Amino acid sequence: MVLAALILAPFLNTPFTIDDPIFLIEARHVLEEPLHPQAVDIVWTGDVWMRASHLFPGGVAVPFLLVPAVLSEHPEFVGHLTQLVFLLLALYVTALIASRLGLGQRGATVTVLLTATTPAVLGMAGTVMPDIATMAYTVLAIERLLAWREDRRWHQAVAVTLWIALAILTRVHMLLLLAAAFAFLLDGIRRDEIRASFSRLGLRYLPLILVPAVCLLAVAVTADPIPPNGVNVDQSAHNLHGLMMNCCAFLSHWILVVPFGVPWILLRWREMSFKLIVTAALIAALIATRAGWIAFVAGAGALVLADVALTAIRNRDRDQLALFLWLLPAIAPVFYVHLPCKYVVPLVPAAAILLSRQLVAATTARRFLLRAAVGGGIILSLLILTGTRSLALTQKKAVDELIVPRVRAGQHVLFAGHWGFHWYAEAAGAEPATWLDRTPQPGDVVVVSFIELPMFATKWTRYSVVERWSENSPGGRVIDHEEGAGFFSNPFGNLPWVWSKKDNNKFEVWRIE
């Protein structure tokens, strides 16, 4: 916990970035309309005005997390501090789960150390997006579930229901956590044990049965009273290639940004099925003709997940099977437009527990692999956090230099672009540019940020460029389409971080004709 706090402390004042503004806008709105947190108009995907409830379904619990930030005079610091508090809570509860699963003090320490230095976790803790909070809700739910399994006290059952519901209402794909929860409550995974587990379904599984009802009730109460405006923005994987790349992303995250896959292979390669290894290699080689090198990384990730599942079934290990199922919810958004590593963050404690079980059992390799995993995780995390701050500072600086002076001069300024640029541009008095409805008029000024690939820039043609501005200092990049970095969005690239001498971002000032 101290290590995680020390790593994140220098980044507590990082400007808002990536999808932070979505949740900040909703948090600001929830102060006016707490029962309808997503009943607000926003310009984001597609550069058109839409209701947040239509564009971002689910996640109705998220806006409340950032209310302290939007009320503060120092919203960046308060927002990142909130993330740190959730992370520390998640680490503490993860230790409790490891202890309840029989890992002992050393195993619990190793588990938390691996979780605390995971690049996906620390990288997302450098934003104010809700994935760290989702991880906290998830581990709170599992810890109370294990307590319910042991003690059968009704306050534990109530806590299980509420924490799982909160996790789902924060990130919808966590609905699949119910599969892991059901497995944890089994007497065992032999046929007779499974049959016996369902003999008293109403009592044992009642907390899980109630979760969908609680979620549906919460969504119904907080539903947007205004229906969608009819504008449809496609947010699905556009074709089979997009679906394949999302599958590769899900599998490769366990290798590239979670210190799980590589140590698992190094610890288990002698015991792994040779047929399984050959099958994974052949499928990866076949997919590589379309997906490139990431197919082989995904193949390694698939090999690890398959080995976890097969070992659990072979050894009749109920807890390992449940932990395996805990790794799977992030596959649910595979049909979405992207599948970045933020979706695996709530699943990292399960991976850490699985690896810790292997490391505690290992002898000679344990210390080396643990040090390598932790050390490598810290280095990559710092690179990601630094790259994120660089991107955020560039977008904030562009607002200060391109938008603020023009607004003060009385010009009508609009902006095309999102992420942190969106938040600071709006705060400076600019309006979002759209290519449908409320479009820019002749004489208006539009400042375009190109890194977010805004649709307005491709749709609008009647303009002249009056100024170009870029941040061209070399450095680390977490989002770079040309260099293949896509920590926050895998369509930008499959690497979590790259070094580049090219522009961090490019901006143009347009005058509408």
How far is residue 5's CA from residue 266's CA, in Å, rounded to a whole number? Answer: 30
Q: Are 70 and 31 in contact (CB under 8 A)?
A: yes
pLDDT at position 202? 65
Q: Are 439 and 508 in contact (CB under 8 A)?
A: no
Query: Tens of pLDDT along 305-343?
Result: 999 999 999 999 999 999 999 999 999 999 998 999 999
pLDDT at 510 over 80: yes
Query: Tens of pLDDT along 468-491?
Result: 998 778 899 999 988 999 999 999
Burial code (b: 16+ CB inside 10 Å, e: under 16) for 130-165 equals bbbbbbbbbbbbbbbbbbbbeeeeeebbebbbbbbb
Helices (runs of H) and strands (runs of E) counted in the chain: 23, 11
Instruction: Output the CA torsion sign for 25, 394, 480, 445.
Output: positive
Higher pLDDT, 199 or 248: 248
- Which token pair is 218? 């919460």
Instruction: Output the CA torsion sign for 451, 452, 454, 458.
Output: positive
Under DSSP, is residue 378 helix (H, G, I), strand (E, B) or coil?
Answer: helix
How far is residue 190's CA from residue 317's CA, in Å, rounded to a whole number? Answer: 9
- Average pLDDT over the chain reads 93
How far is residue 24's CA from residue 30's CA, in Å, rounded to a whole number? Answer: 10
A 10 A CB-CB count for 444 gives 18
DSSP string, 154-207: HHHHHHHHHHHHHHHHHSGGGGGHHHHHHHHTSS-SSHHHHHHHTTTHHHHTHH
Cβ-proximal residues to 373 (8 Å cutoff; 6+ apart), any chain? 114, 117, 259, 262, 263, 355
As a residue count, the chain comes to 513
pLDDT at position 363? 65
Percentage of the chain with pLDDT > 90? 82
Name the band, by pLDDT with cuts 50, 70 and 90, for residue 360: confident
Higher pLDDT, 57 or 119: 119
